[in-house]
């Protein structure tokens, strides 16, 4: 699956999921949460993935928080 807000890389049996919203300090919104759910579902169903690392893009923030206004739509 292709994602708008996530970057997925695999090295051996380890999958890295990078939240890629650096301009928003990787703040979570409805779309990003849905993409994370899909990414985890795919990883858990893939027998070649033995572990997952979650990280955020850029040097300033892992995840700045949740944009709750986006959940109301």
- Bridge partners for 8 per DSSP: 17
User: Is the pTM above the cut of 0.85?
Assistant: yes
Is residue 21 a contact partner of residue 27, using CB atoms and an 8 Å limit? yes
Q: What is the pLDDT of residue 1?
A: 80
Sequence-distant (6+) residues with CB within 8 A of 59 are none
Q: What is the pLDDT of residue 36?
A: 97
Listed residue (72, 57, 59) closest to 27, CA to CA: 57
Q: With bands split at pLDDT 50, 70 and 90, how would you rate the model's confidence at 68?
A: low
* pLDDT average, residue stretch 14-34: 96
* pLDDT average, residue stretch 34-45: 97
Listed residue (5, 4, 19) closest to 58, CA to CA: 19
């Amino acid at each position: 699956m292709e994602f708008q807000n996530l970057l997925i890389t695999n090295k051996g049996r380890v999958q890295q999921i990078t939240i890629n919203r650096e301009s928003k300090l990787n703040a979570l919104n409805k779309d990003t949460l849905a993409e994370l759910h899909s990414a985890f579902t795919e990883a858990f169903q893939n027998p070649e993935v033995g572990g997952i690392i979650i990280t955020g893009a850029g040097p300033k923030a892992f995840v700045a928080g949740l944009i709750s206004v986006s959940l109301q739509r």
